[in-house]
């Protein structure tokens, strides 16, 4: 952490992450992830693949997929586009770190605070998700990463463990509405 | 075992005979699928009754001897239930009370619960004495189309007089006018196979598919699974149909790959094989449990859909065939077998097919007296145990509020009166083809059963099994259900073996078409819900409405909550006869979703009230709320509009203070809502050069430029500033309103127009908290925030400069020297999570300068004072030239809109030009939207000189100021005009001035 004097405010307005617990389900606000977008420069696919493998220690994921290696987790967001994530505490300056590693093979943009992230854990997660989005979370494989609409908002749903561990990334400014939608769906289902 | 054990999770007493009927329930029989051991109290029209778990409101009322349940739509005729299911046209009630009161609820599907309250509708003062039954006496004047002809004159009376009276007289239930307190969900389900309906076909299909391991959803609109199996007495194998259904459901319930969905109606077959379904989660409870929805609208993505929706019995219209106590024969059988209730102690049957005879047999077995069976067919076997009149018809009925007897015309031509309190009518069965037609499919005629069956043009991925195909036998339904599942799964590459099936009846229905009884002069009701008679159809024909669609609109046949499920066929048959065409040549009207009525709230889901749409909060929202800010909705954003301070009682006091403090010292404003688009790539500069009308290629790193973006048609689309952070890195800002639209436009340009450019874009609107710091002391304030290593003096950081800096001891930030207010101003951005901390730090730093935080209202006042265009001016009809920015449209390059902006008509000498206005009488306010008219000219459209777009009270000038578009505006400064507001019949004399009311030379912002 840089030693500046400004205190962070979490997306839901608290000083500590919000956590909601239901029988077989928890919804946890997770602000501890730094995010940078990576977009391949035109015609630099091979160069980017090489630089990315060196930086992240893994190949960039294919469409609909997420890969994790060490501190890094990457997911596909569009043709030639990915999000690179890493622990906030050690990678707050993620865009500079990624840019330094990828050089002119890719455009890199800080996205950390563009998103609110909710980690969804528990076997009842699909019961909540079927009231929120079109994804078939019951049959979503571990390592899947999909873009979908939740509460009218464009979101990413990542599946860490099939049927029971997911993350939802949505627009940070609408964090309260997105959180409300999750809690309402959980109450409805459980 | 009984399936209610499983569904409701509560033990039932024996469902076999439990002896004598209880007091009050005079028409309660023994047996059935109800829990006789447990009593539920409910109220109908204020009177208390008893029923049992498993009852519907209709079955419980019938058991209590109540046949009269409503008044008809138009003539206020006394009516009772015609059916035992969702096709019910008559027994519509207002269910529940207070805010939960729901009109037009079908008593036949309203599941009984303890404390249920229902009121009859469309009657005054009471159900048994209804003053508006006078309409029935006036029926000669109230035939089909009467109001098209009768209430035409005088024209003005229609809206204020006739329509309200008609609506009051002819109506169904009433709304509570209170906010619905319940929750509604929407959701998404996925499956290999969706099975619609759980009768013999649906259960055989579900067993077949479930055992094959496929992902199966079995949707049943009833609260009990089994369809007709639980309403019939015939055997399946060695047991009853109900036992077989219960065993099948128990097996399916244990399969993790099968989802059983009772109380779930599939309402529509939509595009791409998607179906919609409404699950009534809590309608069988007095009040939904906390947090639980009343209903859920499911969107089902099934790879295949097997429709097992069964068939719906059709009545035979005859004179006065609508009295309470006259039901479909199959419904009487269902009430007796499933609900242990009968609408009368003495029942007659009127049928044209063998299925009608079953009702007589079952009733006799139940100990109900069957007075006679009136059979339109002269031939066939004779039923024992009753009077079976062959070749006979029912030609009239008697009984004011309920059936007391019928008049029968025998084959010999003589008539006979038969006393009875209920009559079961069967005109045959119509396969339930509704969902097969939702994609414009047309059913085809099957002469064997004299009914329409599904055609070949089914919705994608749908197939049909059971009675819905026209095979009306139980054995046929079982076999086709199993075969249907095998075939559907085969198409998905899943091998399934048809479930072994029990032996079941396979008796043909032997229907002989008999559409309506021609004897009798009175009214024979085809559509009881809409009070449409055989005569009305004849009248429609006589007046030239021959197409079934015209017939429907003219008579209202088949409209409203039941959508003609029991009436359409008879209407078609009468029309076919009149036009001497066959029924298939006459055709059916289009079936449309929803299959049964759906509350609007269910379609809205959670998107209601304060959750209508998500709310976006700015990074300083928490701080602003603490200050008591007044918020305004700007799209989905909530922005602080002004910050009232103690003692301020009018918004103008707060806004004037914020404006003056900013112009005199310094003000801070959260401008995060403006769209931010990160544009990178080796061709980023060229990309922006093509997107914006003005040049960007040579913008220096560390500089910001104002950009005007045109649409392809040359009209202004959006404006904003673009900062060049590096050779290959720009940050573009958009207006708040157009943030998404501009991003979408740029993606289109990038992907579709110029895929050869190396450019990548991504939104960073949310990622950075951005604040405007404006006013003569802006720099001094920021110098306390920006880390000392960064020189922000006028020399080092001049107007339109930008740079990446650090603040507050090392936090990465961006600083832009841009101004919307016309003051010395900066915009400073930090990662969003630090936005709250930054505004608190800046407010603290600004205290020594008496700084303010200002809201959108002060922002608006200052930009109008400065003459900056905003949404009111960039209104989609204005060009760069109108905005006074013609010079910005570069002729040295091609950019979107530049060619079409050269159109002659857009460049005439007298085109509208943006200028300023002030009232000649400085004390008068201006009104945005006013039109300019020359002094002395008539205020007509032909004399229109332009219009006022934005107005504000300028606390700096002490009077109102306005911006507006005026013909040849630039050349008319000093002229006096009238700003006319015809809406309020007001006008103000205004003087044309420069749009720049404050600092026209721009000295302040360069200070």
**pLDDT given at position B14:** 33
**pLDDT per position as a tens digit, B363-415:** 999 999 999 999 999 998 899 889 999 999 999 999 999 999 999 999 999 99
In a domain, A129, yes or no: yes
Instruction: Give the pLDDT confidence of B691-714 residue by residue, as tens digits.
Output: 999 999 999 999 999 999 999 999
pLDDT at B521: 86
Domain assignment of residue A38, yes or no: yes
Helix, strand, coil tally for chain B in percent (to 5): 25, 30, 45
Degrees, nearest 5: CA angle B839-B843-B846: 135
Domain match, A99 and A163 both: no
Residue B5 is predicted with a pLDDT of 35
Nearest CB partner across the interface for B615, out of A107, A130, A174: A174
Among A97, A112, A127, the domain boundary falls at A112
pLDDT, average across residues B742-753? 97
Task: Return the pLDDT at B407.
Answer: 97
* Assigned domain for A7 exists: no
**Closest approach of chain A CAs to the CA of B56, in angstroms?**
26
Residue bearing the bigger pLDDT, B128 or B622: B622
Give a yes or no: residue A170 inside a domain. Answer: yes
Q: What is the pLDDT of residue B148?
A: 67
Model confidence at B142: pLDDT above 80: no
> A84: distance to nearest CA of chain B, Å?
14
**How many residues are there in chain B?**
1007
The predicted model gives B681-698 an average pLDDT of 97
Q: Residue B655 — very low, low, confident or very high, per pLDDT cuts 50/70/90?
A: very high
Judged by average pLDDT, the poorest of B251-260, B499-508, B846-855 is B499-508
Residues 6 or more apart from B932 whose CB is under 8 A from it? Answer: B944, B945, B946, B947, B948, B964, B966, B977, B978, B979, B980, B990
Determine, for residues A93 and B835 on separate chains, whether the beta-carbon distance falls below 8 Å. no
Interface confidence (ipTM) of the complex: 0.97
User: Which residues of chain A are within 8 Å of residue B622 when distances are taken between CB atoms?
Assistant: 9, 13
The mean pLDDT of B520-547, rounded to a whole number, is 93
Q: What are phi and psi of B258, to 5 degrees?
A: -115, 130
- DSSP letters, A10-58, are -TTS-SS--EEEETTEEEEE---EEEEEEEEPTT-HHHHHHHHHHHHSS
Q: Which has more confidence, B581 or B125?
A: B581
Q: A124 in a domain, yes or no?
A: yes
- Closest residue in chain A to residue B786, using alpha carbons only: A4
pLDDT the model gives residue B114: 97
Work out the average pLDDT over B835-856: 98
- Cβ distance B808 to A4 less than 8 Å, yes or no, reads yes
pLDDT at residue B3 tops 70: no
* Domain of residue A146, residue span: 19-31+113-189
Verify that A38 and A26 share a domain, yes or no.
Answer: no
CB pairs under 8 A between A and B: 161
Q: Do A111 and B293 touch (CB under 8 A)?
A: no
Over residues B53-69, the pLDDT tens digits come to: 999 999 999 999 999 99
Unique residue bearing structure tokens 């900056």: B868
Same domain, A135 and A157: yes
User: Which residue did the predictor score with more confidence, A93 or B507?
Assistant: A93
Which of A112, A142, A172 represents a domain boundary (last residue)? A112
- The distance of B804 to chain A (nearest Cα, Å) reads 13
Q: Is A38 left (phi over 0), alpha (psi -120 to 50) or beta?
A: beta
User: What's the pLDDT at B151?
Assistant: 66
Residues A79, A66 share a domain? yes
Which DSSP string do the residues of B800-823 spell out, in sequence order? TBEEEEEETTTEEEEEE---SSSS
Q: What is the C-alpha to C-alpha distance for residues A43 and A51, in angstroms, rounded to an integer?
A: 14
Same domain as A134, residue A99: no
User: What percent of chain B is predicted at pLDDT more than 90?
Assistant: 89
Please give the pLDDT value at position B916: 98
For residues A65 and A122, membership in a common domain is answered with no
B767/A6 CB distance under 8 A: no
Q: Do A180 and B611 touch (CB under 8 A)?
A: yes
Residue B9 has pLDDT above 90, yes or no: no
Pairing of strands A72-78, A66-69: antiparallel
Assess contact for B176 and B99: CB atoms under 8 A: yes
Interface residue of B764, B832, B843 to substitute, partner A, most A CBs within 10 Å: B832
Taken in order of first residue, the domains within chain B and their CATH numbers are 3-169 (3.10.20.440), 185-311+431-490 (3.50.50.60), 319-426+511-577 (3.50.50.60), 613-671+769-866 (3.30.1360.120), 674-764 (3.30.70.1400), 899-1007 (2.40.30.110)
> What is the domain-level CATH number for residue A146?
3.30.1360.120
On chain B, the residues whose CB falls within 8 A of the CB of A131 are: 185-187, 296
Low-confidence ranges of chain A (pLDDT < 50): 1
Helix, strand, coil % over all residues of chain A, rounded to 5: 30, 35, 35
Residues of A within 8 A of B768 (CB-CB) are: 113
**pLDDT, position B489:** 98
Does the N-terminal peptide bond of residue B125 adopt cis geometry, omega within 30 degrees of 0?
yes
Residue of B nearest to A5 (CA): B808
Same domain, A64 and A44: yes
Sort B642 into a burial class: Cβ within 10 Å, 0-12 / 13-18 / 19+: buried
Say if the Cβ atoms of A6 and B834 lie within 8 Å.
yes
Q: Say what the pLDDT of residue B131 is.
A: 81
**Residue closest to B695 by CA, chosen among B887, B880, B859:** B887
The answer to whether position A71 is within a domain reads yes
Looking at residue A29, its pLDDT comes to: 98
Kindly report the CA angle at B856 between B852 and B859, in degrees rounded to 5? 70
Q: Do A60 and A106 fall within a single domain?
A: yes
Residue B56, token pair as written in the block? 């519907």
Question: What CATH number did the domain enclosing A58 receive?
Answer: 3.30.70.1520
**Are B841 and A134 in contact (CB < 8 Å)?**
no
Q: Which of A6, A111, A127, A172 to mutate to test the interface with B (most CBs of B within 10 A)?
A: A6
Looking at the domain assignment, is residue A12 inside a domain?
Answer: no
At residue B157 the predicted structure's pLDDT band, cuts being 50, 70 and 90, is: confident
Contacts of B809 in chain A (CB under 8 A): 2-5
| B23-36: average pLDDT | 92
Domain presence at residue A2: no
Q: Is A81 in Cβ contact with B678 (below 8 Å)?
A: no
Q: Which two tokens stand for residue B429?
A: 């069965």
- Picking from A56, A79, A112, the residue at the C-terminal end of a domain is A112
Locate the chain B residue with the closest alpha carbon to A150.
B614
Name the residue among A3, A107, A135 with its Cβ closest to that of B810: A3
Q: A112 vs B767: CB contact, 8 Å cut-off?
A: yes
**Minimum CA–CA partner of A106 in chain B:** B681
Taking the model in full, what pTM does it have?
A: 0.93
Quickly state the pLDDT bin for B155 (edges 50, 70, 90).
confident
On the 0-12 / 13-18 / 19+ scale of CB atoms within 10 A, B442 is middle
Q: Which of B730, B623, B607 is nearest to B672 (CA)?
A: B623
| Tokens representing residue B766 in the block | 């949310």
User: Are A7 and B836 in contact (CB < 8 Å)?
Assistant: yes
Residues in CB range of B138: below 8 A, 6 or more apart: none
**Closest CB from A31, A111, A130 relative to B188:** A130
Domain count for chain A: 2
**Range of lowest pLDDT (B128-137, B530-539, B829-838, B956-965):** B128-137
Residue B872 pLDDT > 60, yes or no?
yes
The residue ranges of DSSP E strands in B859-928, in sequence order, are 912-919
CA B934 from centre of chain: 49
A2, A111, A134 member nearest B810 (Cβ): A2
């Amino acid at each position: 952490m840089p030693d500046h004097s400004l205190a962070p405010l979490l997306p839901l307005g608290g000083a500590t992450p919000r956590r909601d617990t239901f029988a077989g389900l928890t919804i946890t606000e997770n602000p501890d992830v730094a995010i940078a977008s990576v977009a391949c420069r035109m015609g630099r696919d091979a160069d980017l693949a090489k630089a990315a493998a060196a930086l992240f220690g893994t190949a960039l994921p294919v469409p609909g997929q997420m890969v994790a290696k060490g501190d890094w987790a990457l997911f596909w967001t569009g043709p030639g586009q990915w999000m690179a994530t890493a622990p906030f505490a050690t990678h707050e300056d993620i865009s500079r770190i990624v840019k330094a590693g990828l050089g002119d093979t890719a455009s890199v943009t800080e996205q950390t605070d563009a998103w609110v992230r909710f980690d969804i854990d528990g076997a009842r997660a699909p019961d909540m998700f079927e009231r929120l989005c079109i994804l078939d979370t019951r049959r979503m494989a571990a390592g899947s990463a999909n873009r979908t609409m939740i509460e009218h908002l464009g979101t990413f749903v990542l599946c860490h463990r099939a049927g029971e561990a997911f993350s939802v990334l949505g627009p940070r400014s609408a964090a309260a509405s997105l959180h409300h939608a999750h809690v309402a769906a959980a109450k409805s289902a459980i | 075992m009984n399936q209610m054990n499983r569904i409701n999770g509560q033990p039932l007493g024996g469902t076999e005979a439990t002896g004598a009927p209880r007091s009050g329930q005079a028409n309660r029989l023994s047996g059935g699928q109800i829990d006789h051991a447990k009593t539920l109290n409910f109220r109908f029209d204020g009177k208390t009754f008893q029923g049992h778990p498993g009852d519907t409101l209709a079955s419980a009322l019938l058991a209590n001897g109540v046949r009269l349940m409503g008044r008809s739509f138009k003539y206020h005729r006394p009516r009772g239930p015609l059916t035992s299911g969702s096709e019910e046209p008559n027994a519509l009630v207002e269910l529940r009370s207070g805010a939960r009161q729901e009109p037009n609820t079908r008593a036949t599907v309203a599941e009984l619960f303890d404390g249920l309250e229902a009121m009859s509708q469309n009657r005054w003062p009471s159900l048994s004495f209804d003053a508006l039954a006078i309409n029935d006496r006036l029926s000669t004047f109230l035939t089909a189309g009467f109001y098209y002809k009768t209430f035409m004159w005088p024209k003005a009376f229609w809206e204020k007089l006739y329509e309200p009276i008609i609506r009051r007289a002819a109506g169904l239930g009433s709304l509570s006018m209170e906010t619905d307190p319940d929750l509604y969900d929407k959701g998404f389900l996925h499956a290999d196979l969706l099975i619609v309906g759980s009768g013999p076909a649906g259960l055989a299909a579900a067993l077949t598919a479930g055992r094959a391991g496929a992902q199966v959803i079995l949707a049943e609109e009833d609260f009990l699974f089994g369809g007709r199996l639980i309403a019939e007495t015939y055997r399946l194998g060695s047991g009853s149909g109900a036992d077989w259904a219960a065993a099948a459901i128990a097996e399916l319930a244990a399969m993790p790959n099968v989802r059983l969905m009772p109380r779930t109606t599939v309402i529509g077959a939509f595009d791409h094989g998607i179906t919609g379904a409404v699950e009534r989660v809590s309608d069988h409870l007095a009040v939904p449990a906390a947090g639980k929805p009343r209903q859920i609208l499911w969107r089902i993505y099934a790879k295949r859909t097997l429709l097992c929706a069964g068939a719906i019995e059709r009545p035979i219209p005859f004179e006065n065939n609508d009295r309470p106590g006259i039901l479909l024969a199959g419904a009487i059988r269902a009430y007796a077998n499933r609900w242990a209730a009968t609408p009368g102690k003495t029942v007659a049957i009127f049928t044209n097919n063998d299925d009608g005879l079953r009702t007589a047999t079952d009733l006799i077995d139940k100990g109900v007296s069957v007075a006679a069976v009136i059979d339109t067919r002269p031939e066939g076997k004779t039923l024992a145990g009753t009077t079976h009149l062959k070749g006979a018809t029912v030609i009239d009925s008697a009984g004011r509020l309920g059936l007391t007897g019928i008049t029968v015309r025998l084959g010999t031509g003589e008539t006979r009166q038969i006393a009875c309190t209920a009559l079961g009518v069967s005109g045959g069965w119509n396969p339930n083809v509704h969902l097969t037609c939702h994609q414009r499919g047309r059913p085809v005629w099957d002469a064997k059963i004299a009914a329409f069956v599904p055609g070949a043009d089914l919705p994608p991925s749908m197939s049909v099994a059971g009675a819905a195909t026209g095979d009306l036998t139980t054995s046929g339904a079982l076999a086709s259900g199993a075969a249907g599942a095998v075939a559907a799964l085969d198409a998905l590459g899943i091998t399934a073996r048809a479930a072994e099936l029990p032996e079941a009846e396979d008796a043909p229905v032997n229907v002989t078409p008999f559409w309506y009884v021609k004897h009798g002069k009175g009214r024979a009701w085809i559509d009881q819900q809409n009070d449409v008679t055989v005569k009305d159809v004849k009248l429609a024909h006589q007046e030239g409405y021959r197409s079934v669609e015209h017939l429907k609109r003219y008579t209202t046949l088949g409209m409203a909550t039941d959508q003609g499920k029991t009436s359409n066929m008879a209407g078609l048959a009468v029309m076919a006869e009149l036009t001497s065409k066959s029924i298939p040549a006459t055709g059916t009207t289009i079936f449309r979703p929803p299959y049964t009525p759906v509350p609007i709230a269910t379609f809205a889901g959670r998107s209601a009230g304060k959750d209508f749409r998500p709310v976006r909060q700015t990074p300083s929202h928490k701080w602003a709320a603490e200050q008591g800010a007044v918020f305004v909705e700007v799209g989905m954003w909530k922005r602080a509009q002004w910050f009232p301070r103690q003692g301020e009682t009018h918004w103008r006091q707060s806004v004037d203070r914020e404006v003056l403090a900013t112009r005199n010292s310094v003000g801070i404003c959260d401008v995060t809502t403006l769209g931010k688009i990160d544009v990178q790539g080796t061709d980023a500069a060229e990309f922006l050069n093509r997107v914006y009308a003005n040049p960007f290629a040579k913008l220096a790193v560390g500089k910001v430029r104002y950009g005007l973006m045109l649409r392809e048609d040359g009209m202004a689309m959006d404006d904003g500033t673009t900062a060049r952070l590096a050779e290959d890195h720009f940050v573009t800002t958009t207006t708040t309103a157009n943030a998404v639209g501009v991003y979408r436009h740029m993606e289109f340009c990038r992907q579709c127009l110029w895929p050869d450019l190396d450019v990548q874009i991504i939104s960073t609107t949310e990622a950075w908290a951005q604040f405007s710091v404006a006013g003569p002391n802006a720099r001094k304030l920021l110098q306390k925030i920006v880390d000392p290593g960064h020189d922000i003096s006028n020399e080092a950081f001049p107007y339109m400069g930008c740079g990446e800096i650090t603040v507050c001891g090392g936090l990465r930030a961006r600083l832009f020297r841009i101004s919307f207010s016309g003051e010395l101003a900066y915009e400073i951005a930090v990662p969003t999570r630090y936005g709250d901390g930054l505004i608190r730090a800046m407010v603290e730093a600004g205290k020594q300068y008496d700084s303010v935080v200002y809201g959108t209202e002060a922002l608006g006042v200052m930009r109008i004072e400065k003459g900056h265009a905003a949404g009111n001016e960039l209104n989609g009809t204005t060009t760069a030239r109108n905005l006074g920015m013609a010079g910005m449209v570069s002729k040295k390059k091609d950019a979107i809109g530049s060619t079409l902006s050269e159109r002659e008509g857009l460049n005439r000498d007298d085109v509208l030009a943006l200028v300023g206005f002030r009232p000649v009488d400085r004390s008068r306010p201006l009104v945005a939207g006013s039109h300019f008219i020359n002094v002395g000219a008539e205020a007509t459209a032909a004399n229109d000189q332009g219009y006022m777009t934005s107005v504000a009270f300028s606390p700096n000038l002490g009077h109102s100021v306005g911006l507006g578009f005026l013909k040849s505006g630039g050349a008319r400064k000093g002229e006096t005009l009238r700003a006319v507001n015809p809406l309020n019949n007001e006008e103000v004399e205004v003087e044309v001035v420069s749009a720049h009311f404050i600092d026209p030379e721009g000295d302040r912002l360069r200070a």
